Amino acid sequence: MSPYGGRDYAGWSVQFSRIISPIEDMQIWNANSGGFSFVISYESRTGPGLHGRPGFVASWRPLNRGWSAVKVIGSPFTTFTAAEQACETVLGYLTEARQGPGFQPGRKLS
C-alpha cells in the first residue's frame, strides 16, 4: 500500500536531476519517465528562489503535448524524498491508466 493511498507503485522509478540556474539558491529538479515530465521545486516564504508555502512542490505533465503542469496532491512536501515518492506513485497511476482498456490518447489524464 502506498503512503499516498491506493496501490503501491514502488516499482516505478523517476530519477531527478538538479537544474542549474543563474538565480542563486533556486532549487529545481526535473525527470522524464514513461512519457511524462516531473518537476520538484523548493519554495519558501521569503528570500531568493521560488515563493510559496514552504516545502518541496511536485508537478507533472505529459511530454510533447503542450499541457500545463498538474500539481501532485500533497504538495508541498516536507522532504525531497517524500516529493520523489509521490511522483513515482503518480507515474504508476498514469502508466496504468494509459495501458487500461478505456484509455483514449487525446483524453487528459488527471
Q: Is residue 107 domain-resident?
A: no
Measured in degrees and rounded to the nearest 5, phi and psi for residue 91 equal -60, -40
**Which residue range(s) make up the domain with 40?**
17-98
Q: Is residue 103 domain-resident?
A: no
Q: Is residue 10 domain-resident?
A: no
Q: For 35-91, write each residue's pLDDT tens digit.
A: 899 999 999 998 777 888 999 999 999 988 788 999 999 999 999 999 999 999 999
Q: Is residue 88 domain-resident?
A: yes
Has this prediction a pTM greater than 0.85? no
| CB neighbour burial string for 6-43, b if at least 16 within 10 angstroms, e if fewer | eeebeebebebeeeeeeeeeebbbebebeebbbbbbbb
Q: Is residue 108 domain-resident?
A: no
